[in-house]
């Protein structure tokens, strides 16, 4: 019998779990031709998530949990999940019921057809501030323009991955993780199912504007070196303009002589170039910071406990 794992990263989800589990149970009931595993990753929750998970495991042996030593963030928690998951395929989903569990059944159908990476595409983005929506779409446009790999908008982490995909993802152990890009990067036979994103059922979203902006910058910097090229390009353009201007000044001086003038022009040009240089240095700095983090070669997460066993 094929084994299907459901991977759910949880951060402060004590109120979502009692709602989520019965829904998952329904799905498992309807599909008894599979072995099921639900792997919860407790990503350093500050509430009773861990106690809840322990209780769930006591009542249902298909439930496993991994407790991380602190909050490492969803991206890292997902890698922890890839390491510990045992199924022939894995479905990644959120704990807050924004990802309707019934979609899993559609995904499994596609998996049986031979697809290896089945992502769920949101039909609507749910309730969301207009500015955030616009920024998000703009971000995808920029990211798409700057990389050859197709990165899909309106697609989150809700997806089914074949064991082969998981093994590939496990080999990508960088600490600055942009998993959504990695799913695209690894390739494999992809298809999609559609779903209607619900509202968060309990608890609060742990993303705020700042962390989303952070993730967006992470996405671009960790996935492309396009900003570096952009800085170079701007440098060339400015140098070219400066060269023409220089020629103009020289010729002007030779023909008409030079009444000293143009101090404001000089100042504004210097300031403009100075600003540009700071931006370029900043961009380079972003990459150097990542090299710095990556060379430390620290583990991406630290696990404390797996099903009552201390690690």
Where does this chain bind ligand UDP (CB under 6 A)?
Answer: 9-11, 13, 43, 71, 73-74, 77, 94-96, 98, 200, 205-207
The binder of 227, among ligand UDP, Mg ion, none, by C-beta within 5 to 8 A per type, is: none
Segment interacting with Mg ion, rule: CB under 5 A, options 162-170, 192-200, 240-248, 269-277: 192-200
Minimum CB separation of residue 275 from ligand UDP in Å reads: 34
Cα torsion at 63, 67, 72, 76 (round to 10°)? -40
Applying the rule CB under 5 A, the residues between 97 and 126 that interact with Mg ion are 98
Q: Which is nearer to ligand UDP, 11 or 178 (CB)?
A: 11
Tell me the β-bridge partners of 118. Answer: 160, 191
Compute the distance between CA of residue 213 and CA of residue 225 in angstroms, rounded to an integer: 18
Q: Which is nearer to ligand UDP, 54 or 164 (CB)?
A: 54
Minimum CB separation of residue 95 from Mg ion in Å reads: 8
Q: Which is nearer to Mg ion, 94 or 162 (CB)?
A: 94
Minimum CB separation of residue 249 from ligand UDP in Å reads: 55
Q: Which is nearer to ligand UDP, 280 or 302 (CB)?
A: 302
End-to-end CA distance of the chain: 30
The binder of 307, among Mg ion, ligand UDP, none, by C-beta within 5 to 8 A per type, is: none
**Cβ-contact 215, 143 below 8 angstroms:** no
The binder of 71, among ligand UDP, Mg ion, none, by C-beta within 5 to 8 A per type, is: ligand UDP
Compute the distance between CA of residue 156 and CA of residue 98 in angstroms, rounded to an integer: 11
For residue 249, what are its two tokens?
């000044």
Minimum CB separation of residue 59 from ligand UDP in Å reads: 21
Q: Which is nearer to ligand UDP, 79 or 231 (CB)?
A: 79
Compute the distance between CA of residue 200 and CA of residue 38 in angstroms, rounded to an integer: 20
For residue 25, what are its two tokens?
């149970």
Residue 197 as a binder of Mg ion (CB under 5 A): the answer is: no
The binder of 219, among Mg ion, ligand UDP, none, by C-beta within 5 to 8 A per type, is: none
The binder of 54, among Mg ion, ligand UDP, none, by C-beta within 5 to 8 A per type, is: none
Minimum CB separation of residue 244 from ligand UDP in Å reads: 49
Compute the distance between CA of residue 247 and CA of residue 225 in angstroms, rounded to an integer: 34
Exactly one of 14, 43, 67, 96 binds Mg ion (CB under 5 A); which one? Answer: 96
Phi, psi of 100 (to 5 degrees): -65, 125
Element spanning 50, H or E:
helix 49-59
Segment interacting with Mg ion, rule: CB under 5 A, options 69-77, 135-143, 195-203, 221-229: 195-203
- Going by C-alpha positions, the residue among 77, 84, 81, 11 that lies closest to residue 48 is 11
Minimum CB separation of residue 303 from Mg ion in Å reads: 23
Query: With b meaning 16 or more CB within 10 Å and e meaning fewer, what string describes 112-142?
Result: eeebbbbbbbbeeeeeeeeeeeeebeebbeb
Minimum CB separation of residue 173 from ligand UDP in Å reads: 18
Compute the distance between CA of residue 298 and CA of residue 280 in angstroms, rounded to an integer: 28
Q: Which is nearer to ligand UDP, 169 or 231 (CB)?
A: 169
Minimum CB separation of residue 239 from Mg ion in Å reads: 48
Cα torsion at 68, 71, 75, 77 (round to 10°)? 10
Contacts with Mg ion by CB under 5 A lie at 94, 96, 98, 200
């Amino acid at each position: 019998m094929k084994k299907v794992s459901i991977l759910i990263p949880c951060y402060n989800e004590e109120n979502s779990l009692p709602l989520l589990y019965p829904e998952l149970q329904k799905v498992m009931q309807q599909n008894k031709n599979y072995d099921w595993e639900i792997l919860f990753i407790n990503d350093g929750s500050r509430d009773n998530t861990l106690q809840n998970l322990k209780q769930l495991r006591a009542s249902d042996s298909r439930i496993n949990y991994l407790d991380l030593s602190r909050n490492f963030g969803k991206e890292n928690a997902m890698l922890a999940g890839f390491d510990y998951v045992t199924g022939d395929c894995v479905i990644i989903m959120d704990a807050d019921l924004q990802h309707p569990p019934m979609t899993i059944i559609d995904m499994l159908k596609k998996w049986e057809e031979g697809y290896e990476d089945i992502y769920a595409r949101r039909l609507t983005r749910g309730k969301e501030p207009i500015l955030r929506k616009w920024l998000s779409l703009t971000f995808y446009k920029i990211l798409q323009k700057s990389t050859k790999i197709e990165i899909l908008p309106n697609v989150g982490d809700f997806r089914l991955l074949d064991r082969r995909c998981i093994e590939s993802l496990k080999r990508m152990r960088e600490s600055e993780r942009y998993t959504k890009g990695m799913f695209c990067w690894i390739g494999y036979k992809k298809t999609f199912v559609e779903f209607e994103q619900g509202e968060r059922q309990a608890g609060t979203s742990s993303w705020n504007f700042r962390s989303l902006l952070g993730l967006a910058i992470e996405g671009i910097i960790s996935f492309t070196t396009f900003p570096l090229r952009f800085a170079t390009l701007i440098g060339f353009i400015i140098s070219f303009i400066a060269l023409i201007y220089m020629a103009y000044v020289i010729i002007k001086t030779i023909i008409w002589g030079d009444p000293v003038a143009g101090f404001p022009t000089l100042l504004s040009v210097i300031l403009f170039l100075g600003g540009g240089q700071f931006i370029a240095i900043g961009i380079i700095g972003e990459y150097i910071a990542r090299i710095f983090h990556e060379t430390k070669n620290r583990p991406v997460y630290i696990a404390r406990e797996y099903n009552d066993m201390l690690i």
